[in-house]
Amino acid sequence: MELKTKIWMTGALEWVALLNGEEVFLGKREVPIPLDEGDAWVNDLGDMFKIIDAEIIQVGKTEPPKKYW
């Protein structure tokens, strides 16, 4: 699948995308690689994303996942 959304990884190993003309933090390890149609995830900030029609869409916000160290 060819993704229509421009994405890149920073030097801090964080995934970022250009959504609606803005740089949006997608996440780190929680981003499913390789990306495929229907994949969904929640980043450390509680932002929810899903791939629909080969584009990454921000579908909402939720409580950030709890970390158990």
**Mind listing the pLDDT tens digit for each residue in 36-56?**
999 999 999 999 999 999 999
Split into its structural domains, the chain has a count of 1
| Domain contains 67 | no
Q: How confident is the model at residue 66 (pLDDT cuts 50, 70, 90)?
A: confident
Span 21-49, average pLDDT: 95
Which residues span the domain enclosing 54?
A: 7-61
The reply to whether 13 falls in a domain is: yes
**69 within a domain of the structure (yes/no):** no
pTM beyond 0.75: the answer is yes
Q: Could you tell me if residue 36 is inside a domain? A: yes
Question: If we measure between CA atoms, which residue out of 35, 31, 30 comes closest to residue 3?
Answer: 35
Q: Does residue 54 lie in a domain region?
A: yes
Residues 10, 11, 12, CA angle at the centre, nearest 5°? 85
